[in-house]
Amino acid sequence: MSRELLLLVGFAVTNRAVCVQLVERGRPVVAADDAPDDHARRLAAELGVDLLERPSPEDWPSLVAGVQAVVPTPGLPESHPSLGAAAAAGTPVISEFDLAQRWDDRPTLAVTGTNGKTTVTLLAAAMLEASGIPVTVAGNTETPLVEAIRDSRPSAFVVEASSFRLAHSRCYRPTVGAWLNFAPDHLDVHASLDSYRAAKAALWSRVDEKTISVVNRDDPVVVEYAPDRGRVVTFGLDDGDFRASGGALWVGSEKLADVAELHRPHPHELANCLAAAAVAMAGGAHADGARAALLAWTGLPHRMVLVGERDGVRFFDDSKATTPHAVCAAVRSVGQSPGQAVLIAGGRNKGLDLRPLAEAADQLRSVVAIGEAAPEVQQVFAGLCPVVVVESMEEAVSAAAETSLEGDAVLLSPGCASFDWYGSYAERGDHFSRLVREMIGGSP
């Protein structure tokens, strides 16, 4: 193969955008996909690009030999034979972030972390826009960064930086890089927890004197990896350049907002607000813009959304919580006192150890276990609180309602992916919410 050729492994949203850009720039490219759909085939034909379907493990050494670089689709498991073949051949593996930075020199503000990435990315973008700085959100969203740079309007990009992209970035260096938190996740993609941690840490692996790193003072893993070069900005609930104190959010000695003014005052939401302000102001936002966005922010769907209340019991949709770390934070935020939460948890495990869920046990009245991981959930809470295993979301809502008492909170916070019963966490949350609303509407 030609030394100028780039090999795209996987031909879904991101690599399709990469392919379009490469073709427009006159670069030779070939794509390979283990299970291409009709859209992939049509696009490849329209672009005049060869699409190799379902290569066998034995095919990969010859495919990667001689190409300039391999561009894996985000989320390609580290065990995929293409990556092993590339390593054996000494062929570089790069990300869409690398390509975007080569093609566009506008600033990027990158946000990574196990939980809260989307919230912080969107809220930081709102703060920048409120400060008169046009930005576009890209990365681990509907718009890959290589697609976003086609737009001449933004003066900067706020990038949701997943471990999937960071792990394969060889030269990407964001202008601002924020690491929110770290907890086990995506072990169905990464070879180990160490590999996942290293992927996150790659965000700061190329900092220089011009970059700004945003560090969560409350997370020991993040603090351990904090850069010793460039400018470092910290945030934390009790301490940091951006902090919560005396019922308000502060940057230095300047108040950004009173907590009572915010729509989402849960502790982990406050941490997200502080992180977003740190990112946005590092990127040029002013305090007034940050405050305006904070006061307008009502949160995102399926993230601690109050669906309704019946007989003094509140029902929350937190379907986006797909790690034990996120579940424990959610349970702590809704429990008015110990033992006043009913947790609906389970789904398809992402290769994670679910035992940390037990940290929430003292806040729970009971647990309703759902999906493929129901036996694991049941085992985690055995002897700690009552657990009932159900076979559908209808049964889950009914069981949670029957178990709960006045003053309780029922929380769909699964700690697992949705792909056993649903096509996405949004579909799962929508079904739960619809069932709750039907139950409330049908009650006397």
Which residues are annotated as catalytic? 117, 140, 186
Two tokens at 92? 């570089």
Distance CA 284, CA 282 (A): 6
> Would you mind telling me the total number of residues written for the chain in this entry?
444
3-state secondary structure at position 160 = strand
DSSP of 409-435: EEEE--SSBSTTT-SSHHHHHHHHHHH
Distance CA 85, CA 92 (A): 11
Distance CA 39, CA 381 (A): 45
Distance CA 268, CA 412 (A): 17
* Most distant pair of Cα atoms in the chain: their distance: 72
Report the candidate in 135, 183, 191 with the shortest Cα–Cα distance to residue 159: 135
Burial of 323 (0-12, 13-18, 19+ CB in 10 A): buried
Distance CA 237, CA 249 (A): 9
Convert 143-181 to b/e letters by CB count within 10 Å (16 or more is b): bbbbbbbeeeebebbbbbbbbbbbbbbeebbbbbbbbbb
